[in-house]
């Protein structure tokens, strides 16, 4: 069975490795979700990207919580929690925005590319 104390100890003992993986993973999967909003691939690809991104963000939040449980309340923990919150928010927004016919993000990208390549 999973022991929360052992999981917390593992999280704190391997903090650098966990953060070295989760921070870029959060950023890249969230960026991929935003790219999928613009390119409009199949909904399965978007949902897969969003699901993976939210799982990474929740894992990062639990990692931060393991530090808060033992009393380590410092700037890095708040920064990591803010990153996880922003990633979750953007991915939930991506799901809501995928229902739109054409998102405002797509319009901005199209106008930018049109202006850039017409000059």
The 3-state secondary structure of 92-105, one letter per residue: HHHHHHCCCCCCHH
Q: Residue 117: pLDDT band by 50, 70, 90 thresholds?
A: low
- Note the pTM of the prediction, 2 decimals: 0.84
- Helices H / strands E in the chain, number of each: 5, 0
Task: Find the helix or strand (DSSP H, E) in which 58 lies.
Answer: helix 43-69
Inter-residue contact 88 to 57 (CB < 8 Å): yes
Residue 116 confidence (pLDDT) above 70? no
pLDDT of residue 119: 57
Closest residue by Cα to residue 54 from 38, 33, 75? 33
Inter-residue contact 52 to 32 (CB < 8 Å): no
Query: pLDDT of 39-79, one tens digit each?
Result: 888 899 999 999 999 999 999 999 999 999 999 899 999 99
Closest residue by Cα to residue 98 from 31, 25, 42? 42
Domain ranges of the chain: 4-118
């Amino acid at each position: 069975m999973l022991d929360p104390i052992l999981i917390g100890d593992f999280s704190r003992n391997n903090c650098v490795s966990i953060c070295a993986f989760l921070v870029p993973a959060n950023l890249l999967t969230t960026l991929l979700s935003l790219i999928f909003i613009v390119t409009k691939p199949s909904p399965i690809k978007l949902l897969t990207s969003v699901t993976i991104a939210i799982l990474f963000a929740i894992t990062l939040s639990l990692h931060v919580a393991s530090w808060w449980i033992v009393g380590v309340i410092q700037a890095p923990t708040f920064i990591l929690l803010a990153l996880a919150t922003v990633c979750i928010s953007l991915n939930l927004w991506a799901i809501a925005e995928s229902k739109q016919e054409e998102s405002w993000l797509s319009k901005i990208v199209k106008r930018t590319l049109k202006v850039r390549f017409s000059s």
